[in-house]
Structure 1
């Protein structure tokens, strides 16, 4: 029977998110309201972020869990209190006007070394859809193999 550690590493290697991102990706920051928000960011953190971090060990992935701004026990001087009214937090609009009393949907900011940062709104997305959006902008492009290369010859011999 395999050891639990080897099972964990096998699961990380075989996960759908276990893909190397482009070296031009500088960092990823995920911001969302910790409670009472959509399940997408939490699904992404639970199912995809560990494999993504395993496949990209040098990539900083920051998680910002924002307290629910509607909570009555919040400090009245907290900058998050006005986030619900404005439909944003941190000075960055999330693109949705949710109205008074609703929770902002969340966002993922992908920073690049050689390009401007891209902000992905996360409202109404599942964990898999968040991963798909991230991979669409940050996945390392594979160079197609040239027919007749040494790698192809080795594959034919096996």
Structure 2
């Protein structure tokens, strides 16, 4: 089971990195909906630990490749953590989506402010991060919700969560 989880995590990180070329610049931030899509999928299928690890790995690789910014770390990791915890305790896909939106759009945006002020010489007010982060996470989380509902209806989600063959 751990090998299958690791393999799926690797595929999701790869998807996040490969799709990092597709972003929407909003002020200092880069709206990257694919990261939030991947976070919610990971939260529901793999859990919060894998989700946070994947968010960190994806953010690190994107920064090394020059397609991300330091703001990707707090946004993606907070969203992945809250998404995973919300799903773990509610067993509800909508809870995972709301966790991602709140974790990235509010908590991650607030934590991004000191990073931007210290490392990016940004003078944007703390509220300047909330809107771009919310836009990005609502788009990506909504897309993941559509996929997860489809997977649930076809019972593929159950099989993924329990390591069964698809």
Asked which structure has the greater RCO (Cα within 8 Å, sep 6+), the reply is 1
Taking structure 1 as the reference length, the TM-score comes to 0.25
Taking structure 2 as the reference length, the TM-score comes to 0.24
Structure with the largest fraction of helix:
2
